[in-house]
Amino acid sequence: QASAERIAALDGTVRAFLHTDAERSAAWAADADRRIAEGSQSDLAGIPVAIKDNLCIEGEPCTCASRMLENFRPPYTATAVRRLLDAGAVPIGRTNLDEFAMGSSTENSVAGPTRNPWDPVRAPGGSSGGSAAAVAAGMAPIALGSDTGGSIRQPAAFCGVVGLKPTYGRVSRYGLVAFASSLDQIGPFARTVRGAATVLQTIAGHDPLDSTSLSDPVPDYLTDLDEPLAGLRVGVVADHFDVGLDKEVADAVQGAIETYRSLGAEVVNVTLPHSKYSVATYYLIAPSEASSNLARYDGVHYGHRAKKFGSLEELYERSRGEGFGNEVKRRIMLGTYALSSGYYDAFYLKAMKVRRLIQQDYDAAFEQCDVIASPVTPTTAFAIGELADDPLAMYLSDVYTISANLAGIPALSLPCGFSKGLPIGLQLLGPALSEPKLLRAARMYE
């Protein structure tokens, strides 16, 4: 009820939610009340959760903020959402995103942009901007997002909340509408590290419905969370503080690194020599996978179907032409080009090789440190409209987040300061499956 009241009071301005279903949420809440009365031990029983609108819940709209899926109601529920429901959490609404999770500002939405609760002329980041804004504005204590190249961490930084991208495969992607399957991961937003750890504890683990989900047992993320890590080695990459990073963001992140030093951590310099290629690599691989994943939206198998058409060819053309927005079309064209015969070796295959080098850089760096501390974003939240007409500038703003997805490693964003009333995020990255340590390192700073 508190969440519903907060949404009613604030969401006319913030516009974090695409749809809510008060009746269904009330039914889930009643179910949670029953579990609590029966002595449920779940930390999430009765806790409202906002769900990004690219995660399926049986019978609910799942639009991906696209005209293409305006009438799609999936007949099944995503495993991550199913696990939250089984723990008694109460979905309270579906949050706005960049269309099919393609973007960094939540402006590429058929429903219009979400606004940053700290300053409504600014973007909340993206693509999970609705989930980040919902948590920042107190409309939900926790939320789910997806992160393909930073879509949880960057909006978490812009909105001043905690956001975690787990290790690739740690959380089942079943029921997440695919953008770039080798990069996509579902993860939590919360106001605290403990909140994020609690959600991860619930949603992580092998799922027979996702062959890329890892079978490694899920460790206990919560019991030792508040224990400081003795001998923590924090890696710092000099290149991260080079040109292109705003001074106030650099100062806040350097300040956070000094805090680690004062807590007894050892700060070590590490290098990631190939990270300068990560934006270029990502913007070949992600659109390539997207062009393949989005081929299913042809107006026949799935998605919007054009009313008027003469031939089958025209049915496809018109349905896709009408259903997809500009950024999605741009990605499909980029990806189709990179994969086409004659260009495949020069673009896609080359990008795959550089991806491996980026992974190896991280392997080498984590021989010398436990976590790497970096900025999440080069700037604080930019204004709505500021980068909207400059896709390349928008892509470049992903420079700090993208390599974690290419390497498959976990990374989180947590608040580390403010500049002119806008939050700044600190990113911590760790080796694959190091979430227990990553969360504890974050908790130490928090």
- Choose the binding region for ligand GLN from 59-67, 143-151, 216-224, 349-357 (rule: CB under 6 A): 143-151
Q: Which tokens go with 443? A: 């908790």
- Cβ proximity of 130 and 116 under 8 Å: no
Taking CB under 6 A as the criterion, the residue among 171, 286, 354, 433 binding ligand GLN is: 286
Region at 238 (left for phi over 0; alpha for psi -120 to 50; beta for the rest)? alpha
* Residue 102 sits in the site that holds ligand GLN (CB under 6 A): yes
The site that binds ligand GLN (CB under 6 A) totals a number of residues, namely 13
Query: What would the x/- binding string for ligand GLN be over residues 108 to 127, using CB under 6 A?
Result: -------------------x
- Choose the binding region for ligand GLN from 146-154, 247-255, 359-367, 430-438 (rule: CB under 6 A): 146-154
CA angle 93, 174, 425 (to 5 degrees): 60
Q: In what order do the strands lie in the sheet containing 162-165? A: 17-19, 90-95, 48-52, 142-147, 185-190, 162-165, 411-419, 422-429, 371-375, 233-237, 266-270
Backbone angles phi, psi at 340, to 5 degrees: -75, 150
Taking CB under 6 A as the criterion, the residue among 53, 147, 207, 370 binding ligand GLN is: 147
Query: Which residue number places its CB atom closest to ligand GLN?
Result: 151
**Which residues in 184-223 contact ligand GLN (CB under 6 A)?**
none
* Residue 103 sits in the site that holds ligand GLN (CB under 6 A): yes
- Cα distances from 231 to residues 223, 374, 441, in angstroms, run 19, 19, 11
CB of 153 vs ligand GLN, minimal distance in Å: 9
Of 124 and 299, CB closest to ligand GLN: 124
CB of 27 vs ligand GLN, minimal distance in Å: 31
Cα–Cα distance measured from residue 102 to residue 106, given in angstroms and rounded to the nearest whole number: 9
CB-based burial, 348-382: b 16+ in 10 Å, e otherwise: bebbeebbeebbebbeebbeebbbbbbbbbbbbbb
Q: Which tokens go with 52? A: 């990004």
Of 318 and 331, CB closest to ligand GLN: 331
Of 337 and 418, CB closest to ligand GLN: 337
Q: Which residues are catalytic, by number?
A: 52, 127, 151
**Which residues in 362-401 contact ligand GLN (CB under 6 A)?**
398
Taking CB under 6 A as the criterion, the residue among 101, 178, 186, 236 binding ligand GLN is: 101
- Choose the binding region for ligand GLN from 29-37, 96-104, 259-267, 377-385 (rule: CB under 6 A): 96-104
Taking CB under 6 A as the criterion, the residue among 151, 278, 281, 319 binding ligand GLN is: 151
- Cβ proximity of 189 and 142 under 8 Å: yes
Taking CB under 6 A as the criterion, the residue among 48, 149, 188, 417 binding ligand GLN is: 149
By C-alpha distance, which of 186, 113, 175, 110 is closest to 148? 186
Cross-strand bridge partners of residue 235: 268, 372
Q: Which amino acid is at 304?
A: H
Cα–Cα distance measured from residue 383 to residue 381, given in angstroms and rounded to the nearest whole number: 7
Taking CB under 6 A as the criterion, the residue among 88, 113, 117, 150 binding ligand GLN is: 150
Write out the residues near ligand GLN by the rule CB under 6 A.
101-104, 127, 147-151, 179, 286, 398
